[in-house]
Amino acid sequence: MIIDCAHYQDGRRQEDRPVSIEDAASRRDQGGFVWLGLFEPDAAELAQVRHAFGLHELAVEDALNFHTRPKIELYDDKVQLVILRTARYDDDAEEVDFGEISVFLAPDFVITVRQGVASELRGARMRLEQRPELLATGSTSALWAILDEVVDGYAPVVAGLEQDIDQVEATVFSGTVAPTERIYSLRREATDFYRAVHPLLPVVSSLSRGAAKVLKPYFRDVQDHVIAANEEVAAQRDLLRTVLEANIAVISVEQTRVNVQQNTTIEQLTILATIFLPLTFVTGFFGQNFRWLVDHIDGWAAFTVYGIGGLLVPLALLFWWLRRRSGAVAPGIPAASPAAPQAVPQTDR
């Protein structure tokens, strides 16, 4: 879809309304340059642009594909293809949306192919139209405006990621387990953002060297912003790695605490079962209905002797057995013996 198409000459836009692709291509010989803006065009629309402006088929194929890294390519000794990765922070979803802008740059035209919602260029065109001294330098000024718009969009992304990382970091270092999936998601977004920013450094440096003298300070300003964003996102990746390691440590501590609690509960249940084991034995023994037991237990005295005695004797034997096991040396481990004194070597005097 064509967003805007205009002819610029002597630092001014020649028409207030967009012109057609054929009219724009025919005005390239009148001086100045043509800026054609497309948003997610299909193959047929790009084929029309290719025939009107004489673009290389491989360059058009590149513009149709979605790349993961910025790059710059030279076609036909005059047409440059600059791939830029755009980014926008979504406050509601708390995630980063990525897009792409393919810029065909020639002395007499600039064609931008936008992919994704995070690739708005209306502000760049309007800002450049208010700077006729820059527009008069040619099509490279449009490329600077596009770069400046894309790089300025990196700052809110850095701030948004920084806020999310601070929240996760505060949760982890307070001793509370943070959702590991959220940390991995932030690290993936930071990595994708790093792939958008870091490869842009040599691209901006190359464009700055080939720019006109008037535009060189502006390209250097864009380069400084890219360097700052690159340093920030690199630091965020390192911090997220540290937060992930700390979160794993917190999870391990929490799991150890749960295991200790479970072991304590099992120990208490074991002690309780051990106490009731003799009672179960006595109950089962006196519950037997055979003649000798019935004939010899005929009063409280006999019941006390057999009942309490039958309970105390197993408890005493159990106590003695547990004390003996706790004080015994583990089999196969020799007792420690005092170390033999070592001879002190004699030295010649």
> β-strands 109-115, 33-39: how paired?
parallel
Q: Would you give the DSSP letter of residue 65?
A: S
Q: Name every residue whose Cβ is closer than 8 Å to that of residue 337 and which is 6 or more positions away in sequence.
A: none
Is residue 297 one of the residues assigned to a domain?
no
Instruction: Report the 10 Å Cβ neighbour count for 172.
Output: 22
11 belongs to a structural domain:
yes
How is the beta sheet containing 2-9 ordered, strand by strand? 12-13, 2-9, 33-39, 109-115, 95-106, 79-90, 71-75
In a domain, 319, yes or no: no
- The count of domains in the chain is 1
**DSSP secondary structure letter of residue 49:** H
Per-residue model confidence (pLDDT) at position 177: 67
Question: Which stretches of the chain are assigned E, i.e. beta strand?
Answer: 2-9, 12-13, 33-39, 71-75, 79-90, 95-106, 109-115
Domain harbouring 230, CATH code: 3.30.460.20
Q: Residue 207: inside a domain, yes or no?
A: yes
pTM for this prediction: 0.73
What tokens appear for 34 in the block? 């043509």
Cβ contact 144:215 at 8 Å: yes
Per-residue pLDDT of the chain (349 residues; tens, 9 = 90+): 888 888 999 889 888 787 888 888 888 888 889 999 999 888 888 889 999 998 888 888 888 888 778 999 888 768 899 999 999 998 888 889 999 999 999 999 999 999 887 678 888 989 999 999 999 999 999 999 999 999 999 999 999 999 999 988 888 877 676 678 888 889 999 999 999 999 999 999 999 888 888 999 999 999 999 999 999 999 999 999 888 888 888 788 788 888 888 888 888 888 778 777 777 776 776 676 666 666 666 777 777 777 777 777 777 877 787 778 776 644 554 544 444 444 444 444 3
- Residue 122 is classified by DSSP as H
Identify the CA nearest to 244 among candidates 169, 174, 176, 159. 169
SS3 content of the chain, % helix, strand, coil (to 5): 60, 15, 25
Q: Is the CB of residue 251 less than 8 Å from the CB of residue 177? A: yes
160 domain residue, yes or no: yes
As given in the structure block, the two tokens for residue 303 are 């019941």
Label the pairing between strands 33-39 and 71-75. Answer: unpaired
Domain residue limits at 61? 2-252
Which two tokens mark 118? Answer: 């995070």
Whether 82 is in a domain gets the answer yes
The verdict on residue 261 lying in a domain is no
Whether residue 194 is contained in a domain is answered as: yes
Question: How far, in Å, CA of 25 to CA of 255, rounded?
Answer: 69
Half-sphere exposure of 282 (CA within 13 A, CB side): 18
Amino acid at site 49: V
Q: How far apart are CA 178 and CA 190, in angstroms?
A: 18
3-class DSSP state for residue 43? Answer: helix
Beta-carbon neighbour count of residue 206 at 10 Å? 14
